[in-house]
Amino acid sequence: MADPKVVAIIMDGNRRWAKKNNLPSASGHRKGIETLIEIVKTAKNNSVDQLVVYAFSTENWNRENFEVNALMNLINFGVDVKLDEIKKNGVKLNFIGDIESMPKKAKEGIAKCISETKDLNEFTLTVALNYGAVWDMVNAVKIAKEAEEQITQDNFLKFTQLGGNDIDIFIRTGGDMRLSNFLLPNIGYSELFFTEKLWPEFNANDFIDILQQFAKRQRRFGK
């Protein structure tokens, strides 16, 4: 079996990890960033080309205001504290979702990430912010209409946020076995992996173990 090139992750469990350790939820999200950096490095060192992570969904706006604000501030924390390390590792940052509807300061941080990593090509980290798969599909129809193209089964994916990229591996941490409105158009034949570990506890060995399990699976793609 060919090496997986694109891996998607729902990074679930930051708040539960913080609660378990008697810390504020923001501390859980910050620890989650540390985990993400470790997994990016591990993925890059194991022939993966792209990691797509679910950072903030369209449904997350329904959380309490203080946590939403903390998550928005976390974007700029990540830019200020981790951007240099990301650049040093040759990682290009990409963002999908309804970015235009994000707060101004968050959009400024996103723009900085894109600008400062646009020429890097060793690895791509795609962050889904204000993303929902239903929104993605509706938006794809709008894009096709604006381009005056007729949507077909063969061309639909190119109008989605990820384009025609196939997701080889789909991982969810935190114990829940749900897809949570993430990348539904793109995961028709993805291999699914669920782990009880909370995202801040997930580590390089866990990721490598999933890569090894993937190598043992037989992918038929409906044939």
Ordered domains of the chain (ranges, CATH):
6-216 (3.40.1180.10)
Residues 28, 18: Cα–Cα separation, whole Å? 5
- pTM summary value: 0.91
Whole-number Cα distances in Å, 41 to 47, 96, 113: 11, 21, 18
Contacting residues for 104 by C-beta, under 8 A, at least 6 apart: none
Q: How much is the average pLDDT of 31-35?
A: 92
- Predicted confidence (pLDDT) at residue 114 exceeds the cutoff of 80: yes
For residue 219, what pLDDT is reported? 72
Question: Would you place residue 3 in the very low, low, confident or very high pLDDT band (cuts 50, 70, 90)?
Answer: confident
For residue 151, what pLDDT is reported? 93
The DSSP call for residue 205 is H
Catalytic-labelled residue, pool 46, 49, 60, 73: 60
- Return the minimum-mean-pLDDT range out of 2-6, 121-125, 179-183, 198-202: 2-6
Q: Is 12 a catalytic residue?
A: yes
Q: Is 136 a catalytic residue?
A: no
SS3 197: coil
Q: How much is the average pLDDT of 102-108?
A: 86
Q: How much is the average pLDDT of 108-129?
A: 93
Residues 11, 53: Cα–Cα separation, whole Å? 7
127-174: per-residue pLDDT in tens?
A: 999 899 999 999 999 999 999 999 999 999 999 999 988 899 999 999
What is the enclosing helix (H) or strand (E) of 170? strand 169-172
Judge contact between 126 and 53, C-beta under 8 A. Answer: yes
